Amino acid sequence: MTSITTPAVAFVTLGCPKNEVDSDRMRAAVVSSRYQLADDVDRADIVVVNTCSFIKDATEESLAIVLELAAAKSGDLTDRKLIVAGCMPSRYGNELEVAMPEIDAFLPVAEEGELLGLLERLTGVPSGIGDEKPAASRTLSGASAYLQISDGCHRSCSYCTIPAIRGPYRSRTRAEIVAEAQELVALGAKELILIGQDITAYGRDMEGAEELADVVSAVADVPGVIWVRLMYLQPDGISDRLLSVMAAHDNVVNYLDMPLQHASGRVLRAMKRRGDSKDYLALIDRIRTALPDAVLRTTLIAGFPGETREDSAVLKRFISDAAFDYVGVFPYSAEEGTTAAMMPDQVARRTRLARAQRLRDIADETGFEKVSARVGEEIDVLVEGVDPDDGVVFGRWWGQAPEIDGVVLLDGGTTGEVVRVRIVDSLGYDLEGEVI
């Protein structure tokens, strides 16, 4: 292990891209301090686990990893410190401290900016921030970077724990967002992915008429950005102005990720959401009219409390009619503290799983057809790296978001560059291409 005179800190990040950004900011604080970064937890004096606790499965995964690290820490008789950060301590608070005395410290989302002070208390070594290194707000590995434009949520969806974990909606200023975009480009980013719990609500908590379209334009105008991608757009916030701004900027990709959750109006009202299949199909038609080459992703919940066979049938028809490029389907998870968990008519787990699988099958049929239709096309691909197992170069075209939509397998290319590729084959959601 590294000498205690220069403690080394390793990060383990679980969950969504918002957690990735939070970890990156904490990592940047370490880079700006006297401490060191460790790539391997076995070489670290302090391990920070940034946990996810959005649903039960995510909480259980986070707990398993934390307990595994705690057992390793005890077993090797080192003085390694273990910090549990992020959503789990934000959601469960003092309960974790009582249940897990082997953890050295807990760091909720709202306190992650205090990481260096916590490290000083745990190690007794002053952080010396600013003494030797220039301050940094982000670090970056790779040509793609998440850019968080807001945090928290103003909605009260009956199944969701996010407002309790991350608090009320808070927009960052446009100046802060642009400054971070410039920093990320300087670090090598070619693609910037705008994220937040609901980025279409941007500006609702600020004075003036600031809105998402203004941020999109500002980020698109940052020199060096080849792709701007929008993630987590709630349907009621997709305005004609936003679509016009997307159409007007060549480097804003026509990719929209809309978490619709369901299509039955009755179920959506129980979820405390708006709309129904008719409304959503009209929205999709409006998007495709404004952006004819639009690539659409959504997420859906199967087996919500009270969902009937008729409701499930409505959702199946909707998936077929909407013809999404990508669909994520999740069986409903009853989360402690949510109103949905207390609703009557909870759907049996077996039924939830079966309905979710049927929805996936329908979505995949359309999704695979759309991917295979790309064979023969020439497209630009951002090269992301080389698979360490088989040495194959891989990247993404603009219709694929990182980690969730498949990749393009290539016969060459250098990481970080954009290459022109002829698509020669497809397999599921992956494409195979030859560099021209």
Per-residue pLDDT of 200-253, as tens digits, reads 999 988 887 789 999 999 999 999 999 999 999 999 999 999 999 999 999 999
Contact 320, 362 (CB under 8 A): yes
Q: What percent of the chain has pLDDT over 90?
A: 63
Those residues whose C-beta lies under 8 Å from the C-beta of residue 289, and which sit 6 or more positions away, are: none
> Rounded to an integer, what distance in angstroms lies between the CA atom of residue 376 and that of residue 410?
14
> Rounded to an integer, what distance in angstroms lies between the CA atom of residue 76 and that of residue 255?
48
Angstrom CA distances, 303 to 277, 308, 387, stand at 17, 8, 37
Task: Indicate the helix (H) or strand (E) that contains 382.
Answer: strand 378-386
> Rounded to an integer, what distance in angstroms lies between the CA atom of residue 399 and that of residue 148?
20
CATH 2.40.50.140 in the chain, residues?
378-435
State CA 378 to chain mean position distance: 29
Contact 210, 175 (CB under 8 A): no
Q: What are phi and psi of 199, to 5 degrees?
A: -75, -20
* pLDDT of the residue at 135: 64
Q: Which two tokens stand for residue 362?
A: 């329908």
Contact 332, 301 (CB under 8 A): yes
Task: Write down the architecture of domain 378-435 according to CATH.
Answer: Beta Barrel (2.40)
> Which of 117, 135, 140 has its CA nearest to residue 127?
117
Report the first-to-last Cα separation within the chain, whole angstroms.
47
> Rounded to an integer, what distance in angstroms lies between the CA atom of residue 261 and that of residue 258?
9
What is the CATH number that goes with domain 8-123? 3.40.50.12160
CATH 3.80.30.20 in the chain, residues?
144-372
* pLDDT of the residue at 3: 44
Give burial (CB, 10 Å; 0-12/13-18/19+) of 9: buried
Contact 402, 396 (CB under 8 A): yes
* pLDDT of the residue at 2: 45
> Rounded to an integer, what distance in angstroms lies between the CA atom of residue 305 and that of residue 268?
11
pTM above 0.75, yes or no: yes
Those residues whose C-beta lies under 8 Å from the C-beta of residue 58, and which sit 6 or more positions away, are: 14, 15, 52
* pLDDT of the residue at 132: 55
The pLDDT tens digits along the chain (436 residues) read 444 468 899 999 988 888 888 989 999 899 888 898 988 888 899 999 999 887 888 888 888 998 888 888 766 556 788 999 989 888 888 888 888 888 999 999 889 889 999 999 998 888 876 555 556 677 877 889 999 999 989 888 999 988 888 889 999 999 999 999 999 999 999 999 999 989 999 998 888 778 999 999 999 999 999 999 999 999 999 999 999 999 999 999 999 999 999 999 999 999 999 999 999 999 999 999 999 999 999 999 999 999 999 999 999 999 999 999 999 999 999 998 899 999 999 999 999 999 999 999 999 999 999 999 999 999 999 999 888 888 889 999 999 999 899 999 998 888 889 999 999 999 999 999 999 8
**Which residue type does 394 have?**
F
Q: Which two tokens stand for residue 384?
A: 């992301």
> Rounded to an integer, what distance in angstroms lies between the CA atom of residue 381 and that of residue 389?
21
Q: At what angle do helices 277-290 and 240-248 cross, to 10 degrees?
A: 30
> Rounded to an integer, what distance in angstroms lies between the CA atom of residue 194 and that of residue 202?
11
State CA 186 to chain mean position distance: 22
Per-residue pLDDT of 176-200, as tens digits, reads 999 999 999 999 999 999 999 899 9
> Which of 38, 24, 17 has its CA nearest to residue 81?
38
Q: What are phi and psi of 358, to 5 degrees?
A: -65, -40
CB hemisphere CA count around 187 (13 angstroms): 22
Those residues whose C-beta lies under 8 Å from the C-beta of residue 328, and which sit 6 or more positions away, are: 297, 298, 299, 300, 404
> Rounded to an integer, what distance in angstroms lies between the CA atom of residue 356 and that of residue 57?
16
> Rounded to an integer, what distance in angstroms lies between the CA atom of residue 183 and that of residue 185?
5
Q: What are phi and psi of 418, to 5 degrees?
A: -105, 125
Contact 50, 22 (CB under 8 A): yes
What is the CATH number that goes with domain 144-372? 3.80.30.20
